[in-house]
Structure 1
Amino acid sequence: MIWFEKILVTVTLLSGLIWLLDKLVLRKQRGEPNELTGENPEPWYVDYAKAFFPVLLVILVVRSFIVEPFKIPSNSMMPTLLTGDFIFVNKFKYGLRLPITNKKFVTLAEPQRGDVVVFRPPHKPNEDWIKRVVGLPGDRIAYKDTVLTINGKPMAYKELGPYQAFGSGMPVNGWDEKIENLGGVEHPILEAPMPPGVDPGNGEWVVPAGHYFVMGDDRDNSEDTRFWQGQFLPESNLRGKAMRIFFNWDGGLNTDRFFKAIP
C-alpha cells in the first residue's frame, strides 16, 4: 500500500516540522505564560503535532525497517496463503530501504530459493505483490506440463490428492494439491487438472544478474514471472520476506490460521 506509506511519511514529517518550528521560533514569539493566570496556550496545531509526532515516528520506523503487516488479496499463493490472511513481513531480512523510494542503504542478505517475498512488480511499481522465489540470478528455469526444472534438474513432487477449499478459495476446489521440493524447501502447490501440453505457463527462461524469478504456489492462477513478457523481478523492487500468518479474515475469523508458519 504505497499510498498509505506516502501519507504516513508526509504526516510524520509535517508534525515533526511543526514541533521543531515551535521549539525554535513560535514559542519565543508567544513569550512565557502569564505567572498569575498561566495563560498563553499553544496553538491547536502545535499541540496536535507534539502529541502525534512521537507516535507517528515509531510507527514509521517499525513499519519501514522492522516489520510490516500485509493482507493477502488473492488466491495466487494458495494453499500456502489464503485470501484474507494477514501476515507479518520482515523488512530488514534483505537490507534496510528508504520509505516510498524503496532504495536500499544497508545490505544484510540475499533472497534464497523458496523464500516467500513481498515486492513491487516491474510492470506495476505502485502495487505490492507476494510470490515465492524459485529462480536466482543466473538460473535456467523451465516449466512444462506442471513440472518446474531448475538448471536442468526437475523438482520432486508428492501427490496429496484433490484440494478441499473453502471461502474465497472455492474456485480452486478439487484442484490437484502437491508438495514440491524446491531444492530442499518443501511447500504445497495447486495445479488445475488439464491435458499435457496446454499449460499457458510453459516456457524456458534465464534469470539475469540482479533479478529473480518468482511464481505463485497456485500455479494456474498466478500472474508471475512466467507471464511478465520477458521481465524479471529486480532486486531493487524487493520489500521484505513473509514471516508468519497472524490471522485470517475471509467473511469471518478463521482460528486455524492463528500464527501459522509460512513454509
Structure 2
Amino acid sequence: MNLQAILGNFALILFVLTVLTGIIWFLDVFHFARQRRARADAALADFDARNAKLQKEGIKTDDSDRAKLEADILRQPTWIEYSGSFFPVIALVFFLRSFLYEPFKIPSSSMVPTLVIGDLILVNKFVYGIRLPVINKKIIEVNDPQRGDVMVFKYPKDPSMDYIKRVIGVPGDKVSYRNKRLTINGQEVRYEPLPDYLDEESLRYSKQYSEHLPTVTHNILNDENKPAYVQDPDAFPYHEQCTYNLEGFTCTVPAGHYFMMGDNRDNSADSRYWGFVPNENIVGKAFFVWMNLGNFRRIGSFH
C-alpha cells in the first residue's frame, strides 16, 4: 500500500529546514545579536554625549527618543526573526517525527478491515530500534518485529515510497499460503468465520475471518472470485527461497528480512509479489488511528 510517495522526501526537507533555521538562530544568538548590542551601545553613548553637551550649553533636551533608538537598532531583521521563531517548532517536529511517532494516511484498501481508506494513523518509530533520520540507519537495538505486527516500511522496489502491511513471517520462518490459508513453520493458522464484510464504497461483500496468529488475532478478508495462486510474481531478491503452484506458495524468510501481507488478502500487492522486506527498510509499528474525517468512530487503537 502506497502511503504517498511525497512523504519519502519529507524527512529530508524537515532535516534541511531544521539545520538552516538552527544555523540562523545560532548565528543570531552568538554573533548578530552581539553586533546589534555593540551598535546600540555606541549609538546610545553618542546620544548621551550629545545631550550632555546641549545641557551644558543651556539647551533643554528630550530623552524620550533614547529607548526608541535602542529598540530600533536591537530589532532583528525580518528573516532572522522568522527563522528564530520557526526553529524550535521545526526542531521539535523533526525530533518527534524522527525518533518517536510519525503520522501516515491510509490511501488504499489493502489493509481492510483493520485499516480503511482515510484512516490517519500513528507509527511508533522507536519500538524496533533507534534509527538515524533521513538515512534510516539503526544505531540502537530495541525490539524486533513480531508476527502479527502492522508495520510501515520502505517499499523494496522504490524506497521513496512507504508501505504498510502485517508481519506474517520473521527471519527463518517457513510461510505457506495454500487455498487461502496460512501455515507457519508447519503449524496451521486457525480461522473462524465471521459475518461477511460490506465495503461501503463498492457495496460489495467479502468473506471475513478471524485469523489467529501465534501472537495476535485479527480479521482478514477473502474474495471468493479471486484465485488462490499468485499471478506473475517478481524475480525479487531471494526468490529462489519461494515456490509457487496453483494452490498458493511456500517461502522461507531469509535472515534480516520479513514477509508481509495485507489483511485484505485478495486485494493486496505484498511480499507474495515483490518479495521480502529487509531490516534496513523498516520505519516503525503502526498502532493507533488518530483521525478519520469520514468516520470519527474509527479513532482508537486497532490492536
Matched, 1:262 2:302: yes
Deviation of 1:184 after TM superposition, in Å, equals 3.8
Deviation of 1:162 after TM superposition, in Å, equals 2.0
3-state DSSP of counterpart to 2:287 = strand
TM-aligned CA distance change 1:181 to 1:117, over 3 Å: same
Matched, 1:53 2:87: yes
% identical equivalent positions: 43
TM-aligned CA distance change 1:198 to 1:49, over 3 Å: closer
Alignment of 1:27-106 (within 5 A): 27-30=33-36, 31-33=38-40, 34-35=43-44, 36=66, 37-38=69-70, 39-40=72-73, 41-106=75-140
Matched, 1:174 2:205: yes
CA distance in 2, matches of 1:180, 1:68: 28
Equivalent AA in structure 2 for residue 258 of structure 1: I
Q: Which stretch shifts more, 36-45 or 123-132?
A: 36-45
| Residue deviations 1:105-156 (CA, integer Å, cap 9, x gap) | 1111111110001110211100111100010100011111101111112211
TM-aligned CA distance change 1:196 to 1:121, over 3 Å: closer
One of 219, 223, 228 as aligned partner of 2:269: 223
Corresponding residue of 1:160: 194
CA distance in 1, matches of 2:100, 2:35: 40
Corresponding residue of 1:114: 148
3-state DSSP of counterpart to 1:93 = coil
3-state DSSP of counterpart to 1:164 = strand
Larger relative helix fraction: 2
Deviation of 1:196 after TM superposition, in Å, equals 6.5
| Residue deviations 1:14-54 (CA, integer Å, cap 9, x gap) | 00011112233333444343442112122221111111111
CA contact 1:138–1:206 (8 Å) conserved in 2 = yes
CA contact 1:118–1:238 (8 Å) conserved in 2 = yes
3-state DSSP of counterpart to 2:26 = helix
Alignment of 1:127-206 (within 5 A): 127-167=161-201, 170=202, 173-194=204-225, 198=229, 200=231, 202-206=248-252
TM-aligned CA distance change 1:175 to 1:18, over 3 Å: same
Structure 1 unpaired stretches of 5+: none
CA distance in 1, matches of 2:228, 2:144: 35
CA contact 2:194–2:209 (8 Å) conserved in 1 = yes
Corresponding residue of 2:280: 236
Q: Hey, which bits of structure 1, 4+ residues long, moved more than 6 A?
A: none
TM-aligned CA distance change 1:159 to 1:46, over 3 Å: same
3-state DSSP of counterpart to 2:267 = coil
Equivalent AA in structure 1 for residue 168 of structure 2: V
Q: Which stretch shifts more, 81-90 or 3-12?
A: 3-12
Superposition RMSD in Å: 1.7
Matched, 1:16 2:2: no
CA contact 1:91–1:241 (8 Å) conserved in 2 = yes
Normalised by the size of structure 2, how large is the TM-score? 0.79
Matched, 1:2 2:17: no
One of 123, 126, 131 as aligned partner of 2:157: 123
CA distance in 2, matches of 1:23, 1:162: 63
Corresponding residue of 2:238: none
Structure 2 unpaired stretches of 5+: 1-6, 45-65, 234-247
Structure having the higher Rg: 2
Equivalent AA in structure 1 for residue 268 of structure 2: S
3-state DSSP of counterpart to 2:12 = helix
CA contact 1:191–1:219 (8 Å) conserved in 2 = yes
Normalised by the size of structure 1, how large is the TM-score? 0.91
CA contact 1:242–1:262 (8 Å) conserved in 2 = no
CA contact 1:112–1:133 (8 Å) conserved in 2 = yes
Aligned residue pairs total 254
3-state DSSP of counterpart to 2:25 = helix
